[in-house]
Structure 1
């Protein structure tokens, strides 16, 4: 009997350790994934456009198909690659982060440039509209999953870089897996709510028993276009800010410390000037300056991509 009690006690102790380990994994995943906020917001802002033009009954199935592709991207492809990277080439993480940050800066700056110069891209927009109309749902889903792969790679790399370097491999794998699952559920759950919000608003406006319910439905329908525009603006700003911050911090780790130190000094001076709000002000100034760095770099990347990278990539792809 005493042997059985001792065994049960050992099992309970193991269970406590396992529970603590699970808590550690989830905690590390949540903490690390918060660093990828810019890419996550952009992912949520980009995805709704892929259901545009389809009937209402196909919106959720399309979102679910893209979500399944996103799970596959993160858990089957990118997670093993991230583990291999952490094991055999941790030195490559800052350069890869800088590449991802450059991509975010380029994408964000390109959106700003398009917004300021819509006439310069009218032919391109018409071509994209025709292309969208000519393709089937499967093509749209595949295109969305390809875009998700790029954003997911950035999310997983940022998450990996934010994890403590002394974590055991199984905990790194668990934290990356949990972060990937949580982020994907959050992004595509939010996208599902967004794309169905106007339908819910129409139903409330048409069938609501109370005047307040009908008024709320009308408000949702009228407000969704503005909300979508706001989401794009927030996503663009987040991309530029996070992209700039990634490049500044990664450059610091690689030995190019001047940008990071200059931003830190300006932010500290601003915080000391208003001591009561020092923390918030330092964060805001740092974010603003990181964003300016990201915007300037992104604007420089636009002609580089258009006139150098895209033609070369086209030749390798056999398109030119």
Structure 2
């Protein structure tokens, strides 16, 4: 009996050691996974600041915190468990779901590009009633809209994170996905908070209590931020197209092989290889988005006719 007890302790000790050795790889897996979702992270960061435009500056950080909190809850309590369950019961569905999400990103990216170059602007009819809402209602609408957009991007992040750890023990899968969810949420919304309050910092630096150099820096920050937000928007749109198309490409063996061939052909110049792949994917994403947009318009017409 004692020998059996000690043998059990040995087995438990071996299991703990094996689990600890496996968990040693978690930081590497988290770093690798974070790199894979960098394009979506850029897009998420670029999209979010628009939700606090024209709102009370004193409420900006509160609004961002609300969005971040709901984003984290969605990742931890809904999306991560859903990915694990789906991976266990229907692993074949992961790739198609990723590709559908990629198509959505391409569609969103195309819509943004189209709006930039479209010469047609919607004019509100004079007879159409203007909806008047309170600042509190506007804030609630903005948060709801931001969370709705975020959940699509978060689903892509979690799905990609899961696809990177499918060959790992279940404990590693859970730890990596939760770590990625927390790290990315804190990083994205922390950076967004810095962006939206940067102009306030600039205004503060222009105070007479600071020296000429600090005041000049403050004025520079205030002038630069609108341009930075504009550039960030363009980068976010490009990232959306690039990431969406790359997700779809990796789901199709032929196109995945072509991307690898392109990277291999330019492997001696890594920066050029990355740029060529990103540009190719962005153009492909624009084409995919155009096709998806036409399908959406057609479906709307069909359902309108049926009604």
TM-score w.r.t. length of structure 2: 0.85
Report if aligned partners of 1:41, 1:235 keep a CA contact under 8 Å in 2.
yes
Superposition deviation, residue 286 in structure 1: 2.0
Structure 1 stretches lacking a partner, 5+ long: 1-9, 125-129
Change (3 A) 1:132 1:155: farther
Displacement of 1:123 in angstroms is: 3.6
Give the equivalent residue in structure 1 for 2:198.
197
Q: CA deviation at 1:183?
A: 0.5
Q: Measure how far apart 1:58 and its partner are.
A: 0.5
Alignment of 1:208-247 (within 5 A): 208-247=209-248
- Whole-angstrom CA distance in 2 between matches of 1:15 and 1:82: 26
What residue is the counterpart of 1:76 in the other structure? 77
Aligned residues between the structures = 290
Equivalent residues in 2 for 1:1-320, closer than 5 Å: 20-117=21-118, 119-123=119-123, 135-163=137-165, 165-252=166-253, 257=254, 259-269=255-265, 271=266, 275=268, 277=269, 279-308=270-299, 312=303
What SS does the corresponding residue of 1:145 show, helix, strand or coil?
A: helix
Deviation at 1:211, TM superposition (A): 1.2
Shift of residue 266, structure 1, vs aligned partner: 4.4
Unaligned ranges ≥5, structure 2:
1-10, 125-129
**CA offsets, 1:20-46, max 9 Å, x none?**
554422321221122111211111111
Cα distance in 2 for residues equivalent to 1:245 and 1:204: 43
- Supply the distance in 2 between the matched residues of 1:157 and 1:131 (Cα, whole angstroms): 39
Q: Following the alignment from structure 1 to structure 2, what is the Cα–Cα distance between the partners of residues 238 and 54?
A: 27
Say if 1:268 and 1:53 are closer, same or farther in 2 by CA, change over 3 A: same
1:285 CA displacement: 1.8
Identify which range, 201-210 or 84-93, moves more after superposition: 201-210
* Contact 1:132–1:140, Cα closer than 8 Å, also in 2: no
TM-score when normalising by structure 1: 0.82
CA 1:201/1:311 → structure 2, altered by over 3 Å: closer, same or farther? farther
Deviations 1:83-120 (A, max 9, x none): 10111111111111110110111111111111011x32
Residue 292 of structure 1: how far off its partner (Å)? 1.6
Higher relative helix content: 1
> Could you tell me how far apart the structure 2 residues matched to 1:311 and 1:300 are?
17
How far has the Cα of 1:12 moved from its partner? 10
Contact 1:267–1:282, Cα closer than 8 Å, also in 2: yes
Give the conservation status (yes or no) of the 8 Å contact 1:45–1:231: yes
